[in-house]
Amino acid sequence: MRVAFLVAPRGAEQRELTRPWKAVTAAGGNPTLVSTSAGRIQAYHHLDRADTFPVDLTVDEATATDFDGLVLPGGLANPDALRLDSRAVAFIRSFFDAGKPVAAICHAPWTLVEADVVRGRTLTSWPSLRTDIRNAGGTWVDEQVAICTNGPNTLITSRRPGDLDAFCAAFLAEFSP
């Protein structure tokens, strides 16, 4: 199982990157850190700087066909930066076009709104995104994990870091061959 983790150069919530990464590794999978810039990304613990992580591929080098699924970690700044980068939005959209599963947690569904892939789907997120999701044609629910199969692929979403155990279990079940 090869899984892309898409993050901006700055702002990913570290727990929402490292816990799913470890879950993929523990399941025998191969996680790959993809970003809009080469080098290292700066993760955060909410608003405080945390660790840095090396980028494996840029969005210009990676394609959806290289992966079995996509994980979108949250953090407030991370998805906000990604949704302003047309290459990142196109990378996300390519997973939907290819019918591959996508998992997003916390604020990450902002990128899904920008990619125009939430219409007709049920998802969850950090509560402040509910109006954005509804305005984009999605149905927002306040649940630990929402698994939506309405569309060309499966979409797995969770609300917050406290949902990480359920989030990881849900996306691993969908990403496994």
Chain segment 9-61, per-residue pLDDT in tens = 999 999 999 999 999 999 999 999 999 999 999 999 999 999 999 999 999 99
Residue 77 has pLDDT above 80, yes or no: yes
Element (H, E) at 23: helix 14-26
Write the CB contacts of 90 (distance below 8 Å, at least 6 apart in sequence). Answer: 59
Write the CB contacts of 86 (distance below 8 Å, at least 6 apart in sequence). Answer: none
Nearest 5°: the CA angle 70, 37, 57 is 50
46 flagged as catalytic: no
Nearest 5°: the CA angle 169, 80, 113 is 65
For all residues of the chain together, what is the average pLDDT? 97
User: Domains of the chain, with CATH numbers?
Assistant: 2-175 (3.40.50.880)
Q: What is the mean pLDDT of residues 139-161?
A: 96
Strand-strand pairing, 2-7 and 69-72: parallel
Residue 149 has pLDDT above 80, yes or no: yes
pTM (whole model) above 0.85? yes
List, for residues 96-123, the tens digit of each pLDDT value: 999 999 999 999 999 999 999 999 999 9
Looking at 107, 130, 159, 160, which residue is catalytic?
107
pLDDT band at 152 (very low <50, low <70, confident <90, very high): confident
